[in-house]
Amino acid sequence: MRQSRPIRKTFPINAMLEGRPVVVVGGGRVGQRKVELLLDADADVTLVCPECVEELAALARAGRIRHTCRPFQDADVTTQALVFACTDDKHVNRRVLEVAQAARVPCCCADGNWADGDLVTPAVLRTGDITIAVSTSGKSCRQSRLIKDNLRKHLDSIESSDLLVLGTSHEYLAAEERAPYHLATRERELLGGMIRQVWGVHEFLILNTCNRIEIVAAVSREVATSGILHRLLRLDQLRPDLYYMKHGFDAFAHLCLVTAGMDSQTPGESHVVSQLKEAVDEAVTFGWAGSIIRELADAALHVSKDIHHEVDPLMDIAEIEEVALRYLEYKLPGLSRRRVLVIGSGMVGQGVVAGLLARGCDCDWAYFRNAPAVSGEEAQRVRVVQLDQLGDVLPEAEAIVSAVDVREPVLTVAKHAARLNPQGVVMVDLGMPHNIDPAFDRCGGAIHVADLDVLKHWYRSANGTLDKILEACRAILADHRSIYERMRLSIQGEANGRNC
C-alpha cells in the first residue's frame, strides 16, 4: 500500500539571496526549475552534476551560472547560503542533505527526503514586483500548481484592469422605459451577489437613482468586453444606443460629472452626492467594495467640488423639489392660494413641503411608512394623512407632488380618477419607478401629469443652453486627469511599494 505523503508545518518567508552563493546538485528538469527560480532572485548559482539538460548548459555557456561537471563532493556545501539536492538518486540526495546539515547549511531535498530537510520551495508565481508562493505543507504538489495557475490568471486580469461604468439614464431612456431597470434594495443585493462571482470584477458599486441605474467597477479588460455585465444588468435587451459603457478616464470623468449633478435632470443638483455615498456604504456592507471604490468616490467628490466652484456662478442651480415647485408656479399662477397635496415624507418630500410653506401655501402631506413631524405654526398649515386616506384629500387638491420609493404607482386611474378635483389638477411625479399612473395624462380634460422627463425639458428650456457649463467641466476634468492615473496604477498594483 502506498504511504501517504508526510505533512510538515512551515513558516513562509522571502529569502533575500541577491549575490549570495547557492549550490544546486542535479542537472535534470527539477534542478532546472530550482536554478531558474534562484536566478530570478539574483542568487550566485553553482550547478554540480556530471551532465545536465541543454537549458542549464546554455545558462552555463552564457555565464549566468557556474557548472562543476562532476558528481557531488562534501566540500561543495562549504560557504554556501543554501543547498538544493535535486538528483534522480535518493541516496545521493540523502548524502547531500546530511552533509549540508552537518555544516549547518539549510538544505532542500526535491524527493522523498524532503520531510527531513530544512526548507521547501512552494509553487511560485512572479509578475513584475509581485511574488506569490503556494504551499500545501507537502500534502499535494499538484494542488499547489493548480492554485498557482489560477492565481496567474487573476494577476493577468489585475494587470489589465481599469475603471468601467455601465448603465442607462434619463439621457438614453424616457422615465417609463427606464423604470423596469431600476432596482429595489433586495434586487440590488441579489444582482451584486451574482456580479461578485464574476472573475475579474475586483470591486464595484450599483448606483440606482431616479435618473440612472449603473454599475461603477474596477474590472479586467476581459470582463469589460465579455458582455456578462450587460446581461446581468439586462442591458442586452436594449439597443446599443440606449445605454452607455465608459472605460478608463472616460469612466472617471463620467462619475465626476454625475457626482457634481451635471448629468442630472436638473443640472447642478446635490442629492446625487448623498446617493453616491449611500451606494458606497451599501457596496462595502455587502462585500462588493473596499479601498478602490472608496478612493474612487472620494476622488469624484473632490473633483465635483472644484466643478461647482467654477460653474455655479454660470448657472441657476435648483434641486428637483425646487424645480417641481417652479413648474407648479408656471402651470398654476397664484400657487400660494392653491391647495397642494404632497405624497412622501422622505428628503424630497420634506423639501417640497418646506418650499410650499415658504411660498405661503397650505398643503396636505400623505406619508407611506414614516409619519412626518410638524410642529408650531407648520401644524396650522399642514394636514398630515396616511397614504390610505388619499381619497379624503384628493377632491380639494389643485396640485399633487409625489416622491415615494415604491414599485407600483400610488395614484392610479382605476382607484383615484373619480376622486380628483373636478376643476382640474396638475400632478408632478418625482418617483422612479412612477408614483403616478401615466394613464392619467390620457384622461383628457383638466388633468395634467409631468414626470421627471417633462420637468427636465421644461427646466432646461427655461434656463438656456448648458454648452458653456459643460465646456468648463471638461477643462476641469482634464486638469484632474492625474488623479485618475494614480488610481489606475493603484488598481493595477503599480503604486508605491510596501514592505510586504
Tens of pLDDT, residue by residue over 176-205, are 899 899 998 999 999 999 999 998 899 999
Give 9's pLDDT tier (boundaries 50, 70, 90). confident
Give me the chain's average pLDDT, please.
88
pLDDT at 355 over 50: yes
Residue 494: the pLDDT is 40
What are the φ/ψ torsions at residue 78 (nearest 5 degrees)? -60, 135
Instruction: State the Cα–Cα distance between residues 306 and 299, nearest whole angstrom.
Output: 11
Instruction: State the Cα–Cα distance between residues 242 and 71, nearest whole angstrom.
Output: 73
Closest CA to 262 of 203, 304, 323: 304
Give 497's pLDDT tier (boundaries 50, 70, 90). very low
Q: Span 459-465, mean pLDDT?
A: 66
Closest CA to 369 of 341, 343, 395: 343
pLDDT at 26 over 90: yes
**121: exposed, middle or buried (Cβ count in 10 Å: 0-12, 13-18, 19+):** middle
Find cell 543554501 and name the residue.
82
Please give the model's pTM, rounded to 2 decimal places: 0.61
For 240-306, strand residue ranges (E) read 244-247
Contacting residues for 36 by C-beta, under 8 A, at least 6 apart: none
Q: Retrieve residue 411's grid coordinates.
A: 395614484
Q: Span 248-264, mean pLDDT?
A: 92
pLDDT in tens, 104-146: 999 999 888 888 999 988 877 777 677 787 877 655 667 777 7
